A and B are shown apart, each in its own frame.
Chain A
Amino acid sequence: MRIVIFTATLLALLASLAGCKRSLDERDVRAFIDKADNTARKRFAPEICELRGKDFKLHLKFQGHEPRVPPTELDMDRKLFCKEAGNFSRLRQYELSRNSIGISIATDRKTARVIAEYVETMPYYEPNTFPRTLDDFREFQVVARHDESIVGIESGDLVFLSTDSESSQSLVAKGSVSLPYD
């Protein structure tokens, strides 16, 4: 009986190990980025967070719509990033378009560098204001984003290890954009 249990456990472990990724190819990475983009569109924080490695770091440089005001720069670790992803879920109108993607696999095939260009459109709530409803805004913000990410294998799954992001924001009148509520 003991041998049967041991063999079953061993087989289960081997099966799970077989499912773990050992090396990357471009198709895997592209599929992963597609999945990450769709997850961002859903704005469900736990799924967004799940795709980030345990030591994930984001460096963000953000040029606001006022060109006279210098860009802000900040670093986030995974914990803060995930907390912010939670706030992101409050948006009811959001559009993410990917305009380009470039993937280069490291020679050891353990990591890959992904360079992608995005455009995000979402409501713009002015800082230090308290919207009465989620529809209480006058303009949409259109954010053009250039992301350089390193993705790699962690515990058998593909995850973002780091992202260096540069964003530039512009505002457009609320009536000039039609975004569905979801």
Chain B
Amino acid sequence: MLLVMVGGLVIHHYVSKEEAPPRAFTELEFAGADTDHTGSCYSLSTVLVANRTTGGAARTWTKPRDGAWSLMLDAVTEGYGGPVRVFQKFTFEKGGNQVRLVDVEAAKGMKTGIKENVDELLEMPNALHSTPVDRCLSPGAAGYLFVPRR
């Protein structure tokens, strides 16, 4: 009986654990929105932290398919008519040594285009001069919208 209960607890622990992408995925360089997928010089985790996606909204990771992860950000804002639910769901996919934004779903009135979302996601790490990936540490390094530190 004890064995069954311990087994049940172990299964519950693993089943109820929330999904999240491995570091090997989030540490990949976030790709730009150009046709060549020029690297942005920032890892996906740096982009997400700089955009404070760990803050105000409820966040949920799901895995739609192998090599891809979706991040749902869900929040409630106060409108003039009352509380309104706002959400954004970003799907990122591994491509070579990069991770690309491949799909955006969002609440009514929010941007869903890939380029505008990639550009917007890169505003904060550039403004904050977040730590770039190794290849962009040297002077003169180039990246999509990347603003090197002077």
Contacts and interface: CB of A to CB of B under 8 A. Distances in A.
Interface stretch (B35-43, B73-81, B124-132, B135-143): B73-81
Interface string A52-68: 00000000101110100
Interface residues of B, number: 19
Contacts of B78: 125, 127
B62 interface: no
Contacts of A60: 83
Interface in A62-85: 62-64, 66, 69-72, 74-76, 79-80, 82-84
Interface string B65-76: 000000000111
Contact of B80 (A6, A10, A64): A64
A89 interface: no
Contacts of B96: none
A75 B74 CA distance: 11
Contacts of B1: 10, 13
Interface of A: 6, 9-10, 13, 60, 62-64, 66, 69-72, 74-76, 79-80, 82-84, 125, 127, 167, 169
B83 A74 contact: yes
Interface of B: 1-2, 5, 56-58, 60, 74-85
Contact of A79 (B58, B80, B83): B58
26 contacts: A6-B2, A13-B1, A60-B83, A62-B81, A62-B82, A62-B83, A63-B82, A64-B80, A64-B81, A69-B80, A72-B83, A72-B84, A74-B84, A76-B76, A79-B74, A80-B58, A80-B75, A80-B76, A80-B85, A82-B58, A83-B56, A83-B57, A83-B58, A125-B78, A127-B78, A127-B79
Given A74-B85, A79-B58, A79-B60, 14 more contacts: A10-B1, A62-B82, A64-B80, A69-B80, A72-B83, A74-B83, A80-B76, A80-B85, A82-B58, A83-B57, A83-B75, A125-B78, A127-B78, A127-B80
Contacts of B80: 64, 66, 69, 127
